[in-house]
Amino acid sequence: MQTQKLFDNYVIPSVGRFPLSFVEGKGSWLIEENGGKYLDMYPGWGVNIVGHCHPKVVTAIQKQAAKLLHAPNNYLLPLQGQLAEKIIKRSFPGKVFFSNSGAEANEGAMKIARKWGKNKGKWKFVSMLDSFHGRTLGALSATGQEKYRKDFEPLIPGFSYVPFGDIQAVKEIIDDETCAIMVEPIQGEGGVNVAPENYFKELKNICNDRNCLLIFDEVQTGVARTGEWFAYQLYNVKPDIMTLAKALGGGVPIGAIVAAQNVADVLQPGSHASTYGGNPLVCAAGLAVISVIENEKGLEKAKNVEKSLKQNAEKLKQEFNVIRNVRGAGAMLGIELDIPGQSIVKSCLEDNVLVNCTHERVIRFLTSVFISENEIEITFNALHTALSKI
């Protein structure tokens, strides 16, 4: 395959790749160079929340590309202001900074927390074991998985890790030098882990008591993924800072930091910037994604997807005792197994269904909110076949 040769010869092999070469996408489907069609149950690692190449997103990008692709951020860019307003009106009062990825957004969030705490003598972070915040040096320092950190140590100092969901462990590690607690509302890469009831309310209380910030990494959970605009709304707990990426752009690179007013204002000219962040093209895409979700009942459909995914997964659990647990919210589901999941991924691939295995034993779905019942049925038929082979 010519594409395989190009990758072998010219692309750094930092990502394990399946020998499939995709050239087109529509809805929940990807089409290979040779015409083969594959049902994508984690489109773009959760990027394509409205499906591959949603017509309204494509049209918005095409129209904007013909007008203005990029202009420097030291001028006023109307679409950037409009997208910031849309995000704030759907989340909490504050301001937005745009970047190009989730890792960048998390890096910026940590910079804000450090600057906020500078004159208070606060500089440390508490994050969670099994968390994942990105692969840049700062985001990696916050990531609570040794397998990702070990080859790049020594990393940035000041990070401590405690078990996700363990409030007592947070109370024991936090001190007067802690500037922020950083947490995913649902751990994605760590296995689609859902916190105990009231966990986030207790985290917020700790932050209030110890005068530190609460940062929610919503790179995977944000923008309709869980059936709410943002996952913090499931728990009725407002963070001081929230990071977004993936679904916000519908397929183009974008990240965002949403910070409460009293926190956002610590960033003054010269303290943080991004050349490409919030350019007209990606903001046009982001505005289109929000419009599609609102006009096509995306939040409601995410809740329906959750119901269908969980019902089908629970049926499999009844039949196959290798399934240990089913968990998630909205169009985000984890099926935890007692065995490594790569054999399941391989079997589904043979049936032209793309599923992801994370944390070695968790089959993870990050579907479009517009996935159909028929497509869900196809997926679970493929999973049934895979599990029957064990």
CATH architecture of 299-390: Alpha-Beta Complex (3.90)
Contacts of 157 (CB under 8 A, 6+ apart): none
Q: Tell me 42's DSSP state.
A: S
Q: Does domain 57-295 have CATH number 1.10.357.10?
A: no
Cis peptide bond N-terminal to 93, omega within 30: no
pLDDT at residue 110, rounded to an integer: 99
Distances (CA, A) of 192 to 161, 185, 187, 325: 18, 10, 5, 11
Listed by start position, the domains of the chain span 1-37, 57-295, 299-390
- Tell me how far apart the alpha carbons of residues 133 and 21 are, in angstroms, rounded to a whole number: 28
Residues of the chain with pLDDT under 70: 1
Where residue 115 falls (left for φ over 0; alpha for ψ -120 to 50; beta otherwise) is alpha
- Name the pTM for this structure: 0.97
- Tell me how far apart the alpha carbons of residues 43 and 179 are, in angstroms, rounded to a whole number: 35
Q: Are 155 and 148 in contact (CB under 8 A)?
A: no
- Tell me how far apart the alpha carbons of residues 180 and 204 are, in angstroms, rounded to a whole number: 11
Two tokens, residue 170:
């947070």
Q: Which residues pair with 24 in a beta bridge?
A: 31
Q: Which positions are annotated as active-site residues?
A: 132, 217, 246
Q: Are 271 and 112 in contact (CB under 8 A)?
A: no
Two tokens, residue 245:
């990426």
Half-sphere exposure of 51 (CA within 13 A, CB side): 22
pLDDT at residue 212, rounded to an integer: 99
- Tell me how far apart the alpha carbons of residues 85 and 88 are, in angstroms, rounded to a whole number: 5
